[in-house]
Structure 1
Amino acid sequence: MSAPTVPSSLQIYNSYVEDPIWQRKFTIIWCSGLALAVVVSVPSLILGLRNGRSLKGIAGVSETNGYRSAYGSDGKKPPPIRRRSRRLVGAWNALISPTYWSPPKLGLNLGQIIILLAYLAAVLVCIIKDVSLISNPNRAGFLALAQFPVVFLFATKNSILSLLLGPGNGYEKLNFMHRMAGRAMFLGGCIHGSLWIRNHLQYGLPILGPQKETSGVASLALLCIIVLTSLRPVRILFYECFFVIHVLTYVAFFVTICYHTIYASPWIFPPLALYGADVLLRLLRYRIKDATLTAQDDQMTLIRVHNCDDGWLAGQHVRLRVFFSNRVFESHALTILSAPPSHSCLTSPGFLLAARTNGDWTRALNNYTRKEQERLQIDEKPDVDSSASVQVMLDGPYGGSSIDLGRYESVFLIAGGSGITFTLGLLDDIIGRCVKLGRSQGERTRKIEFIWCIRSFGQIEWFAPMLVDIATAASDNSIDLHISIFVTCLCNPEAVPHIPNSIVTLSRPSVQGLLKDFISLSPTSEKEGSIEPRIDESQEWRSSGGGVAVCASGPESLTREARNAVARLGLTMNMDVGGIALHTELFTL
């Protein structure tokens, strides 16, 4: 006769058997969502592999034996537009365009918010489903441990995930999930720790003393330090302190959590593997190079890195460390503002970076450069525009644009302030590919609107020579390029340099209005407040449904306005123009 079965209602809940099951369920949920995102990105990945964009820069910048400096355009016309495929692209972009909408202050779009809410819901369901947390608070602790792989997968700069999601999906685009997973770990740790402390107080058990309790309290304290010092105000105001504290505390957290529970070990190894792979790949990307610094004024410093001819895409950025004064241990992210010399339109092509004075490091760099330039001019010739020579360390490149501008008939580039470093590189790249390389990769771009929003006329001089070079290269070829500069400060308008086919306007633009006019090609007559009227000689040009690419870079307010503009116009215009693709660049701490 078989032994009687104890009813499930009377069975004692075995946390160490049941809770790991919910860890695995949670892991299956987020891995399934990740797999879906990878599947959706397969077309972009395949296209990136075909044209070499996906693997570009994976081994760092490189030096070649030379580059073509003469124009090589063979007059090749843009390839024909495939109507059916473009309508499918337009339908897909119309479907996802509402996800670009961004509420103020959050720094996230609707698509990211939906992902975060779904992730948080999965965490909460797995924590509270079929368990009494007050009497069995271990479930929350087990789910906190399950966050380890997510935290590190979305934090490392060199992640296999960035490669699988296609070009333009670097760590800076995925970091919002890293922060969410860290907060979910903090939530689970707080629930687990606070309820255990409550139970110990209720039954008169010691909170400190035994190894398990002491290591648990230490782990929770370290987790609190990690989360609180990672808040945005702390990161912005005390970034160097934040970085040091972050590294030291998560190492200590790893040690204490392993002392606290033997069930932490399986969840520690994946983060260690991810971090080890990141360090290894980062070693492959490190370069120490000679460079020259040129101070445009007391607000902008240009950095030309020598012997870097290839290994990056326009719009990518590097972590730069300049060996000067006592700042050798600081590195900062700067966008590469030029295309590779093989097809750059600049008179002096190369690896160019720009550092806007916006903090202690950039201010110190600008002061050092100006002092060195003054010293060199005194020691050599007063009329020579000398540049300060330094050595730099590069880590990268990373990031870049998620859309290939050459696939679109119309391109709309808008930047605010120093955000021009991103859009200027894209402009140099697409003009060079069409003009110098003769559309060798099937580029179909025909019309480009380049917009720059700045606070004063003096800032135009920062990049005026480069804009002149690019506009000159495009003027006699099959690309209709317009440059619009919007200035919000009434000061010295006589200092505006001449840039071919450009207009300078004293106003703050409406991104939605500019984009709508660009897509609909409504006549652009003389605008109120313009320094000179635009003479648009291309009003006979009409879109043939080749799609519109929109790239925005700059302050959060501008990129949010660009996302909202595409979200509104995408629902009504995507099908007509063959799809509106969007990429925004907002590098924040």
Structure 2
Amino acid sequence: MPSPSALLATSVQGLRPDGIVGVTITTQKVDPDRLPRIQQAHDYPREALWPLAGFTALVALCHLLVILSTLLFPQRHARPEGARSSPSLRRIPAALLDTFRVIAYRCTIPIGGSHSLNLAEVFLTAAYITIIFVWSLVHSTNSKGMLYDPKYWGNTAGNVAATQLSVVAALGTRNNIISWITGISFDKLNYLHRMSARAVCVLTWVHGAGRVSESCNGGMGITGAVGWDHPFTQAGLLASIALSVLSIFSVRPLREAGYEVFVVVHFLLVFIVILSAYFHAQEFELGYFIWPAFLIWGVDRLIQVLRTFILNAGYFKAHSHELDARIDVLSPHFLRLRLYRPNFFHWRPGQSALLTLPTVSTLPLETHPFTISTIDTPATYKARTKLTFLIRVRRGLTGKLLDAATKGDTVKVLVDGPYSSPPWLRGFDSVVLIAGGSGVAFTLPMLLDTIRRAKANAVGVCRRVTFIWAIRELEHTQWISDALVPALQDIPSTLVVDIKFYVTGLADDSQAQSLDDDSSHSDHESKGQGDVDVKGGQLLQSSVVTVENGRPNLKALLDAEIARASGPMSVNVCGTHTLANVVRGALRKPRFMDILKGGPTVTLHIEAFGSSVSPFPSRDLLEAR
């Protein structure tokens, strides 16, 4: 290929009498923008990663500081309940932090009827889009004064999109370094994963538009040797189309309408996107922008396969029943699944596991996440650990599981996990656990673990724990009675336990029933309080248990807990979108002066069905949702 600084053209004008050939030599003018364009397309994609890396490091540092503060300075409950004093300037940082939490995490913008974004998520979305588009479009004025020359921003946008694929992959995998260093579970990173993928999708089309615009302005663009019929151009187009289809399928209504189909489509399209993008970039020896995304994606799958194999070795033994699960039909809409795994399987209260049911699911390796509703205690079952899951019956896999349980079929279950990063309930003065329906699978193990640690006189145990459960029928208390009745015996005086059951099934208030995820069913399963079994009866007769009809007044309950607390307070919620919004609204009012007088700072963690979750860890520095 001739050098652009000395491209020669010759024309023969005829022979002169002396036999000398007349030659006219012209030199093409050097493009002064070529080297700056190449330099920007090389440097700017890397520079766009630095703000993201810096923010990740900041969150990781906050997570580390919270862990250290919890371990080194546990709450000592020196002050009496409800103690207040004159305002103290020393508490200004705590008051400012709590006010920040209220504004950033509890002020939300509704998106449709069952989704919302808090202001922190809105800010992160705007910041990310700004970063990748600024680094794609900045300094794109050429030497002739033409603003936004497509020769500048076209290729730079493509390279920025290529480097961001690794970020998208890292945010979407279950086993990733971002979760490990920040304490943010993959399910909470999922919003950022979808948001960044859609932004990168738009950026890939900006890259294509730049190349087409360059062609229209007389440049190379998508013509000649790099035209539409060139494989590398077709690979880039295929990657953009596949990413666009995936972005459409990932929209919440479509994703939830056919989750099993979405899982297959997602796997195939991700493979197509990364592979096609690699071949497209490698044409200009830029494949190193893409292969890290392949590595992240592949390592995640490899870890998942290896861990599944280790935890379920009994599956490969002939005629083995080690993986058989026991399924109890608690109601037409709820199941309890119990199984055993090796003792080296450990988890924290509130963590989840991926379950694969080859004999039930449509696809043999189809996985679904479920929360482990038991706590990790020293094993009493020889060499195996007992796991229990409370499962809400919906369409798809859980509906088939109900059919199998009704027929008495044996179900084999493969387990992978544990996953997610539930709050670490250490160093709080009081803890409030709120659940609706099957959300008790998240809050129950936290209650059991708090009681267990109090009995063991562990450091950092709260002084008071309040457990609130909105249920449709009173007999639903039987679901947790086997685990809760033994735990409520011999509670030490250092811990106050307050358990409140709210039965919403007979309430006329539609909002009351919407707090329980069983409210969509009009059929009543209750047989009356007299039909509660022996363990359930023992639970209801406990002095720490109260039962009320109708929806809980969460605003009044939380206000009372805040007035009673004199140290940091943790509120943890798992339930419907309505329940999450009610709790969030109850804690939305700033309490700057109350905190200056010694009132508690409040951390809110929400594990809500159909609701977004905050991409932040921790309690005293940032708020988890």
For normalisation by structure 2, the TM-score amounts to 0.74
Do structure 1's residue 312 and structure 2's residue 330 form an aligned pair? no
**SS of the residue 1:406 aligns to:** coil
Aligned to 1:503: 546
**SS of the residue 2:500 aligns to:** strand
| 1:368–1:480 distance in 2 versus 1, CA, 3 Å | same
Task: Give the drift of 1:315.
Answer: 0.3
Aligned match of 2:162 in 145, 164, 187? 145
Is the 2:278–2:287 contact (alpha carbons within 8 Å) kept by the matching residues of 1?
yes
Partner Cα distance (1:391, 1:365) in 2: 11
Aligned match of 2:209 in 179, 185, 194? 194
Q: How does 1:231-270 map to 2 (within 5 A)?
A: 231-262=251-282, 264-270=286-292
Is the 1:86–1:579 contact (alpha carbons within 8 Å) kept by the matching residues of 2?
no
Q: How does 1:80-159 map to 2 (within 5 A)?
A: 80-81=77-78, 92-101=97-106, 102-105=108-111, 106-131=115-140, 132-133=147-148, 135-136=150-151, 137-159=154-176
| 1:82–1:156 distance in 2 versus 1, CA, 3 Å | farther
Partner Cα distance (2:366, 2:327) in 1: 17
Task: Give the drift of 1:431.
Answer: 0.7
Q: How does 1:224-303 map to 2 (within 5 A)?
A: 224-262=244-282, 264-286=286-308, 287-288=311-312, 289-303=323-337
Partner Cα distance (1:198, 1:456) in 2: 64
| 1:261–1:164 distance in 2 versus 1, CA, 3 Å | closer
CA deviation vs aligned residue, 1:388-410 (integer Å, no higher than 9, x gap): 653311110011322x2231121
Partner Cα distance (2:181, 2:228) in 1: 46
| 1:258–1:308 distance in 2 versus 1, CA, 3 Å | closer
CA deviation vs aligned residue, 1:244-278 (integer Å, no higher than 9, x gap): 12221222222222332335412223223323332
Aligned match of 1:181 in 177, 181, 196? 196
Q: How does 1:518-537 map to 2 (within 5 A)?
A: 518-521=561-564
- The residue identity in structure 1 corresponding to 2:548 is T
**SS of the residue 2:589 aligns to:** helix
Is the 1:45–1:165 contact (alpha carbons within 8 Å) kept by the matching residues of 2?
no
Q: How does 1:303-342 map to 2 (within 5 A)?
A: 303-309=337-343, 311-325=346-360, 327=362, 328-342=364-378
- The residue identity in structure 2 corresponding to 1:398 is Y
Task: Give the drift of 1:34.
Answer: 1.3
CA deviation vs aligned residue, 1:306-347 (integer Å, no higher than 9, x gap): 245551111000001124345543321110111123399xxx
Task: Give the drift of 1:447.
Answer: 1.3
Aligned to 1:355: 391
Is the 1:551–1:584 contact (alpha carbons within 8 Å) kept by the matching residues of 2?
yes
CA deviation vs aligned residue, 1:443-502 (integer Å, no higher than 9, x gap): 33221111112333343333344343333453x643221222223321655456542232
Task: Give the drift of 1:125.
Answer: 1.3
| 1:45–1:444 distance in 2 versus 1, CA, 3 Å | closer
Task: Give the drift of 1:369.
Answer: 1.1
For normalisation by structure 1, the TM-score amounts to 0.78
Q: Structure 2: which 5+ runs fail to align?
A: 6-29, 81-87, 141-146, 313-322, 507-523, 612-625
Aligned match of 1:483 in 488, 495, 499? 499
Is the 1:449–1:482 contact (alpha carbons within 8 Å) kept by the matching residues of 2?
yes
CA deviation vs aligned residue, 1:69-102 (integer Å, no higher than 9, x gap): xxxxxxxx99454999998656534443322222
| 1:572–1:146 distance in 2 versus 1, CA, 3 Å | farther
Partner Cα distance (1:234, 1:572) in 2: 46
| 1:152–1:550 distance in 2 versus 1, CA, 3 Å | same
Greater shift, 512-521 or 566-575, is seen at 566-575
Task: Give the drift of 1:12.
Answer: 4.8
Larger Rg: 2
**SS of the residue 2:270 aligns to:** helix
Partner Cα distance (2:480, 2:196) in 1: 40
Partner Cα distance (2:504, 2:289) in 1: 53
* Structural RMSD (CA): 3.4
Q: Identity percentage over the alignment?
A: 24
Do structure 1's residue 452 and structure 2's residue 452 form an aligned pair? no
Task: Give the drift of 1:191.
Answer: 1.3
CA deviation vs aligned residue, 1:380-435 (integer Å, no higher than 9, x gap): xxxxxxxx653311110011322x22311211110111111000110111111112
Q: Give aligned pairs, total.
A: 512
CA deviation vs aligned residue, 1:128-159 (integer Å, no higher than 9, x gap): 21215463222221221121121012111111
Aligned match of 1:170 in 185, 191, 195? 185
**SS of the residue 1:312 aligns to:** coil
Q: Structure 1: which 5+ runs fail to align?
A: 52-76, 373-387, 522-542
Is the 1:549–1:581 contact (alpha carbons within 8 Å) kept by the matching residues of 2?
yes
